[in-house]
Amino acid sequence: MRFLDEVKIFVRSGDGGSGSSSFRREKFIPLGGPDGGDGGRGGDVILVADPHLNTLIDFRYQQHFKAKRGVHGAGKCRTGASAPALEIRVPVGTVARDDADGAVLCDLWQAGQRFVIAPGGRGGLGNTHFKSSVNRAPRYSQPGESGVERWIWLELKLLADVGLIGMPNAGKSTLLSKVSAARPKIADYPFTTLVPNLGVVRAGQEESLVMADIPGLVEGAEAGKGLGRAFLKHVERCPVLIHLVEASPLAEGTPWKRFRIIERELTAYAPTLAGKPRWVVLTKCDLLAPEERKELFKKLRKKLRPEVEALFWISAVTGEGVEGLIQALVTRVRQAKLERNPEYYHAPLEDAPTKAGRGGQTGSVDTEEEEEDDGVECIWVR
């Protein structure tokens, strides 16, 4: 299925039915008086968040949505039927914006959430309502109100617990394929990932998290280079960002330089992204000797400490460090959800690990000497 995350559609709610202007006409009943009924209400246009959808591709083939109008009123005080609402199903995480001024109309971030994007017109009153002591035979009835019509933009922002960001060929798709059932395209050339990919990562029988693989960024993405910044909106909702940095000596530039390039692009896109909790994960560390890996950790530790929470190293090919990273991520995501919604978990939350070693073992970090243990997969968590 083709991925589509932004589309423009036209919606129009139904007009209200007109009120009736009629009089009671029965044998042997002179001067029966007015008996015109009211018109029915026009149909609303409602956006509904559907958890079974994950793209806006359906709107590529239909962009106009019009609800039906209400039925006109009739004699004998009969009210016209109201038109049914027109439901437009969109993926969870869809934001609707008004095309006229760009204002956000709604943000459907929960499954089943509904929003009336265009209310239907009210039905007109029949002439019965205008009868008075001085006007015993009113011949006036109200027309139905017109419906609302507007052009709106639907913008999909994926809902994920963890967002993977980094330069092309940093190992994002490889990591996602190793820890989930997702099968993104993997190749030895840049920009193999052209659309975001989602994967559900299982950690035990009850714990899980959703991980999003975002297409690679390059220097100048803000100006449209590479794939640009079109997909960065999909990490705006992620509680934790994982910045993958290639540690391979064959990569161009130093790991610190590649880290700063992506950070500048995040800040240029939205300052709020730069303030999100994020971890740095050095990938392809199987290409480094243990001494080289230790030296690289020492160089990056002091530079990264003010900006990131944790520094990991992994090798998706050999599997080293991956299990410890996932276990620490599950705890951190659980903590982030609890901070956002204190009622999310009924059970008390354990403290997040301050250090992850081989096999997911945890321990506290109190001194600089302890942080320099050889071979650990995570040397520091702020």
Q: How many domains does the chain have?
A: 2
Q: What is the CATH number of the domain that holds 112?
A: 2.70.210.12
Are 265 and 348 within one domain? yes
Of 268, 165, 166, 146, the residue nearest 211 (C-alpha): 165
Which of 133, 156, 179 is the last residue before a domain boundary?
Answer: 156
211 CB-near residues (< 8 Å, 6+ apart)? 160, 161, 162, 163, 164, 176, 179, 180, 198, 199, 200, 201
Planar angle of CA 334, 337, 340, nearest 5 degrees: 155
Q: Which residue range forms the structural domain that includes residue 19? A: 6-156
Are 37 and 91 within one domain? yes
Q: Which amino acid is at 93?
A: G
Q: Is residue 128 part of a domain?
A: yes
Are 174 and 127 within one domain? no
Which of 156, 172, 193 is the last residue before a domain boundary?
Answer: 156
Q: Is residue 1 part of a domain?
A: no
Are 296 and 199 within one domain? yes
Are 242 and 279 within one domain? yes
Of 214, 153, 215, 160, the residue nearest 190 (C-alpha): 215
Are 220 and 131 within one domain? no
Q: What is the pLDDT of residue 359?
A: 34
Q: Evaluate whether 285 touches 297 at the Cβ level (below 8 Å).
A: no
Q: What is the pLDDT along the chain (382 residues), one digit of tens a residue?
A: 456 788 999 999 999 999 999 999 888 888 889 999 999 999 999 999 998 887 888 898 899 999 999 999 999 999 999 999 999 999 998 999 999 999 999 999 888 999 999 999 999 999 999 999 999 999 999 999 999 999 999 998 887 888 888 888 888 888 888 888 877 777 666 667 777 788 888 877 677 888 888 887 777 666 666 666 677 778 888 888 888 988 877 677 788 888 888 888 888 877 777 778 888 888 888 888 888 888 887 788 777 777 788 888 888 888 888 888 888 888 888 888 777 665 544 444 444 444 443 333 333 233 343 344 444 455 444 4
Interatomic CA distance for residues 191 and 227, integer angstroms? 8
Are 189 and 137 within one domain? no
Are 188 and 282 within one domain? yes
The pTM score is 0.72
Are 127 and 52 within one domain? yes
Are 47 and 169 within one domain? no
Q: Is residue 315 part of a domain?
A: yes
Of 167, 144, 3, 31, the residue nearest 81 (C-alpha): 144
Query: What is the Cβ-side half-sphere exposure of residue 123, based on CA atoms within 13 angstroms?
Result: 27
Q: Is residue 17 part of a domain?
A: yes
- Six-digit token string for 292: 């080289």
Are 166 and 274 within one domain? yes
Are 145 and 183 within one domain? no
Question: Sign of torsion, CA 58 62 64 66?
Answer: negative
Which of 127, 156, 185 is the last residue before a domain boundary?
Answer: 156
Tell the residue number behind the tokens 């990932």, with chain if given.
193
